[in-house]
Amino acid sequence: MAQSQVTVHSIINFSALSRNFVTVAPPASKADFRCVEEYQMKRAKPYDSAEFLDSPKAIKYYLEEAMESGDPQLMSHAVGVVARAKRMNKIARESGVTRESLYRSLSRKGKPEFSTIVSVLRSLGLGLSVRVVASNKVSKFGEKPNKKTKIAV
């Protein structure tokens, strides 16, 4: 078999060898390249954020971004992703909720109660805090408030 020909057997070898960073001869034609690409695409696993939440700092930034979005479903989903990263069984046991209901309520379509979110965050060793957000509201005098403008209430 010449190096320029690619068969099903060599496609599998090409995929296995490329994973181990061993160089192999490239596919001879675009059709052969498409076969290799399609084979590799079938084996690709879906992206999961939980795999990358391996440090407290990463978890903090991940949850901060979700909270700043203002989307309640994204916030609850982000808490669910962090819970999956830290073992959902353990979190469910510590928060007093069943594992199945946590998966359901902390999914993208789930609508958990606030008490569930608080108990999950507490079992993760996290808490909630409130801060003032800069506002672009116009005062009743028609100008944006700044440090020099005093507004009578």
Domain assignment of residue 137, yes or no: no
- Note whether 14 and 76 are same-domain residues: no
Per the structure, the complete domain to which residue 25 belongs is given by: 8-43
Q: Minimum mean pLDDT among 41-50, 91-100, 139-148: which range? A: 139-148
Sign of the alpha-carbon dihedral angle for 97, 110, 49, 69: negative
For 102-136, the pLDDT digits (tens) are: 999 998 888 899 999 999 999 999 988 888 877 76
**CB-facing half-sphere around the CA of 38: CA atoms within 13 A:** 7
Could you tell me if 151 and 141 are in contact, meaning their C-beta atoms sit under 8 angstroms apart? yes
Domain assignment of residue 151, yes or no: no
Domain assignment of residue 114, yes or no: yes
- Note whether 37 and 13 are same-domain residues: yes
Predicted pLDDT at 141? 56
- Predicted model pTM: 0.59
CA 112, 117, 123, 124: dihedral to nearest 10 degrees? 110
16, pLDDT greater than 80: no
Domain assignment of residue 138, yes or no: no
Rg of the chain over all Cα atoms, to the nearest angstrom:
25
Domain assignment of residue 19, yes or no: yes
Mean pLDDT of 61-90: 91
Domain assignment of residue 140, yes or no: no
Separation CA 117–CA 127 (nearest Å): 10
70, pLDDT greater than 70: yes
pLDDT class for 38, splitting at 50, 70, 90? low
Q: How many residues does the chain have?
A: 153
Contacts for 135-143: CB closer than 8 Å, 24+ residues apart: none
pLDDT class for 83, splitting at 50, 70, 90? very high
- Note whether 74 and 118 are same-domain residues: yes
Predicted pLDDT at 33? 57
Q: Comparing 150 with 110, which gets the higher pLDDT? A: 110
- Note whether 64 and 113 are same-domain residues: yes
- Note whether 62 and 98 are same-domain residues: yes
Domain assignment of residue 134, yes or no: no
Q: Comparing 31 with 128, which gets the higher pLDDT? A: 128
If one counts the domains in the chain, the total is: 2
Nearest to 24 by CA among 4, 38, 41, 39: 4
- Note whether 86 and 22 are same-domain residues: no
- Note whether 36 and 91 are same-domain residues: no
Separation CA 76–CA 114 (nearest Å): 9
- Note whether 57 and 88 are same-domain residues: yes
Place of tokens 């998966």: 103
Q: Which amino acid is at 50?
A: A
Q: Comparing 40 with 19, which gets the higher pLDDT? A: 40
74, pLDDT greater than 50: yes
- Note whether 37 and 55 are same-domain residues: no
- Note whether 93 and 31 are same-domain residues: no
End-to-end CA distance of the chain: 87
Domain assignment of residue 92, yes or no: yes
